[in-house]
């Protein structure tokens, strides 16, 4: 099981390492921290709102960023991207937003809440998470519709749910889950707690829980790959730190952490 998770991360790493040397365009690409170095003069508290699927990778990136910039303290809020976008458009204070889909980011951009053009910094793909040992014998997406197989999906308003719906539609599946969850971590938790036989989640989340779940690849996932955009917010109270953090995420140091977590390159 652990070997399987590691092999998935290795495949993702190959693509990501090749992409990490490119600077690209968009917010943060020309910041002083473009190589992941310390940025002179960056101080204060930095508030980052990020998709739930970024919890492990961004927590580590945040610690690394603080180590490189010891006068900065990073605070994270992780939740479903659509929930975070609603908070931002409602006036919630934050400096940076990292979403799990361009569609969710577009909500923030169209509301005039983005300072500049969002930049895609990673990509993610779905897998079917099943309990250790795969007791229900799930091997393909169609197995989720078998009688007696209980499935959790993310709510369709959040990116992991929208991606799952795209994959299910591509397969012509009429799957009816037993539960819709608020974000990918909540859907995965249903598997970890033994409350469902399977959940459609991101590869990175299944890899993070490899001690407890197995990840089943399915071909339709290739039709529903999510791009992850990031941007400094127009109402940021610490825009200099925000730009530096965005640059750090897109630089080699941040990309290496994302690779380790199983993300693909942008």
pLDDT of residue 4: 40
Which string of b and e fits 79-103 if b means at least 16 CB within 10 Å?
Answer: bbbbbbbbbbeeeeebbbbbbbbeb
pLDDT for res 35: 52
pLDDT at position 41: 80
Q: Which residue has the tokens 């799990």?
A: 100
Shared fold status for 2-123+226-261 and 126-223: yes
Domain map (residue ranges) of the chain: 2-123+226-261, 126-223
Q: Which residues of the chain have pLDDT under 50?
A: 1-34
The CATH homologous superfamily to which domain 2-123+226-261 belongs is Periplasmic binding protein-like II (3.40.190.10)
* pLDDT tens digits, 202-252: 999 999 999 999 999 999 999 999 999 999 999 999 999 999 999 999 999
pTM across the whole model: 0.84
- The confidence score (pLDDT) of residue 238 equals 98
What is the Cα–Cα distance from 161 to 140, expressed in whole angstroms? 18
Q: What pLDDT does residue 8 have?
A: 39
Secondary element (H or E) of residue 166: helix 159-171
CATH architecture of 126-223: 3-Layer(aba) Sandwich (3.40)
Q: How far apart are CA 18 and CA 81, in angstroms?
A: 27
Greatest Cα-to-Cα distance within the chain, rounded to the nearest angstrom: 60
């Amino acid at each position: 099981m652990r070997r399987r998770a590691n092999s998935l991360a290795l495949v993702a790493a190959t693509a990501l390492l090749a992409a990490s040397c490119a600077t690209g365009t968009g917010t943060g690409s020309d910041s002083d921290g473009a190589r992941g170095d310390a940025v002179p003069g960056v101080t204060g508290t930095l508030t980052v709102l990020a998709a739930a699927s970024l919890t492990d990778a961004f927590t580590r990136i945040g610690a690394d960023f603080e180590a490189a910039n010891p006068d900065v303290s990073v605070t994270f809020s992780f939740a479903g991207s659509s929930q975070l976008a609603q908070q931002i458009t409602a006036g919630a204070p934050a400096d940076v937003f990292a979403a799990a889909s361009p569609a969710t980011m577009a909500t923030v951009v169209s509301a005039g809440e983005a300072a500049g053009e969002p930049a895609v910094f990673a990509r993610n793909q779905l897998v079917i998470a099943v309990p250790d040992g795969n007791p229900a014998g799930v091997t393909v997406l169609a197995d989720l519709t078998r009688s007696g197989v209980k499935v959790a999906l993310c709510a369709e308003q959040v990116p992991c749910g929208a991606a799952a719906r795209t994959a299910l539609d591509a397969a012509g599946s009429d799957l009816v889950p037993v539960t819709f969850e608020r974000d990918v971590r909540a859907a995965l938790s249903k598997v970890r707690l033994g409350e469902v036989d399977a959940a459609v989640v991101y590869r990175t989340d299944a890899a993070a829980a490899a001690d407890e779940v197995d990840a089943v690849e399915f071909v339709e996932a290739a039709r529903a790959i999510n791009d992850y955009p990031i941007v400094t917010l127009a109402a940021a109270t610490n825009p200099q730190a925000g730009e530096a953090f965005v640059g750090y995420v897109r630089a080699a140091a941040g990309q290496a952490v994302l690779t380790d977590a199983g993300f693909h390159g942008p």
